[in-house]
Structure 1
Amino acid sequence: MNTKSKLLMNKHLHNVEEVLRCSNATPFRGYEGQGYRCCYCTQQCMKPGDLKAHTALTHEGIKKAYFGYAHIEKFNIKLDITDLHCTLCGSTIDNIEALVNHLINDHNKLIHTDIKSHIIPFKFDGGEGLRCFICSNRFNAFKALLEHMKLHIRNFVCQVCDAGFINRSQLRYHFQTHKTGTFKCDHCEKVFSTSLKCKSHMRSVHEKSVINKCGFCEATFVSYRHKQKHQLEEHGVDCQVKCEACGRSFQSQGSYRKHLRANHLMERRFECTFCDLKFFTVTGLNRHMVKHTGARDFKCDVCHKAFGRRNTLREHMRIHTDDRRFKCEYCGLAFVQKCSWRGHMRSRHGEEV
């Protein structure tokens, strides 16, 4: 991300954080058949009102963690603004635009008004279907309502068909539909508007019949894993590849060869300049280098603690979101970190895991 994009992204993040800090607006990550997903943890609720209550009760004060890794071209944030009000003075607010004006004029809050808003607001009234609060149209599925919102939030407009989009990434993907006859299938006469559609067609129609065809019958499969399962269940053939050196089994020849080069052939071409250790990949070397350089480039936005690795920061964020994903099967105690769970299993139940 260049400097201009970073500055623009920071403005968007600041605006979103001010809206969340000063109102009861609730961010969510869409509806995917299992419920409305929380932005700060793995919680899913079938009703948006339940998610709103969960967020207010569980994540009060955490207003930034989920948005820290967004990219400006793809950034948008879905907000539940049902019964919207200002938490600074209690005023009832009708919509996001009115809330922004209220925060600027009545509370002297800094809101950047020189940028296009990437906030997608929703109101859930509990009636039949899902209603667009701007034009009152109703939809049977959340995905249809989300697609409909592009009619109202036209930050980026297609010059060919005048379709509107919330962010630039959506516009770029859409624009590919106007390019006809560009990508031709290597196996048949079909032509596709995008490279992605062409590759998807070749994988699903042509390549599966060759690469993922069962060697014992005429069945074909969309993936190598599905073919393996079929051959084991129907023909009693275990297609897993076993390493003769250590006994580990692998789902594919590729995984086995990678394991062999890294662990037994010792093809470690990436050498640390501080010590004698060598690594199989650049990623492994960079992860190791943090021990020598002491670099801590990944900072927690909640408690400001810094970490040398992004994964360590992600694991740390579970403390703030109270994401207790490691559960003891004996007594039901749950833990944020795997090491704590392992220690508990060893000391309380005498089991090494």
Structure 2
Amino acid sequence: MEDPSYGQRGTKPYMCGVCGYRTAHKCHLSQHTRTHTGEKPYKCDQCDYSSAVKSSLNKHHLLKHTDKKPYLCGECGYRAALKSSLSAHIKIHTGEKPYKCDQCDFSAALKGNLNQHLAKHTGERPYKCDQCDYSAAKKTTLDRHLLLRHTGEKPYMCGECGHRTALKSSLSLHMRTHTGEKPYKCDRCDYSAAGKPTLYKHHLSKHTGKKAYICGECGYRAALQSSLLVHMRTHTGEKPYKCDQCDYSAAQTSSLNKHLAKHTGEKPYKCDQCGYCAGRKGTLHRHYLLKHTSEKPYICSECGYRTALKSTLSTHIRIHTGEKPYKCDQCDYSAAQKSSLNLHLAKHTGEKPYKCDQCDYSTAQKSSLNKHHLLKHTDKKPYMCGECGYRTALKSTLSTHMKIHVYRRESLQG
């Protein structure tokens, strides 16, 4: 459809009759119309890919069917098949974010990221899944959903550990668990991340101080909408993430991943100071703080208790407040710690997932399995009483034993 104002300087005479989109060039209108018709006349001669625009086909060919990456970043050695990809990458180093939102103070390095952000203001989700009621603001997000939820295919495999994934980008991110690469740097502290979304979350939660998302049930505040959604599940009891090997379900994908390590036994994170290995990076970091540093920067203002972990202090403070936010959905039991609730739930289910590999013992707690192993399958007794030479495998047993001497001394003094 051609507008009567054609020929006037600065006008956009070509208008889409379906949605009102306007452009200065007839060829751009033809391309745009294909978003409504679904027409994709440009076909790849090496696979079944097709595109509405010839330039998209050229990009596809470079990215998928050649190994050429002629564009090199002078800062870090990153290589790209497309000049536009290198330009976008360089903005990581320069911090340039030229694309501004006209409705808030958001800015982005890429136009695509701005368009994705704008959908938060409009709420528009034009891309619909034909297999469920999911909809997305971006076609790539819908494609990702289809791969993850409806195909079951995981064609990308890690050569180091056999981990499989549906997405090439997920494999690239996973590989950084082996290489230790963290290319995304925080410009306000020494934090770095393997993935850009992780860096963005860090920035919001650590450097803005803003907690715009509020729980209507209990007043909990969060910097991230995703954090609030996860929190809400403590009220609703929703556990959408299911284990495909047992009946376990979780409120968070990270909890499911932690659980899956019980089935695979995979522990890719190695301590560089001892032989400790962990299934999760966070667990390794916790180990390092507890075992290899003497720093305890977190202090309780009530009693002076000190700890290496912020989460431990938060749990400790509940001793003073009496808060028990973790509720059992089968009885009136509540707990200050999630681990205590999980232990309690095992009484209802009878589940004992921790199995001894040397006998038929099983238990609901990993710590109980560790104690069992020390007491029954090793001769090690590293804890010794300085009073009488008594030795034991467990520190807690030595503490109990020491009370005998304290009681005897008190009796003699009395």
| TM-score computed with the length of structure 1 as normaliser | 0.32
Larger radius of gyration: 2
Where relative contact order (Cα < 8 A, 6+ residues apart) is larger, the structure is: 1
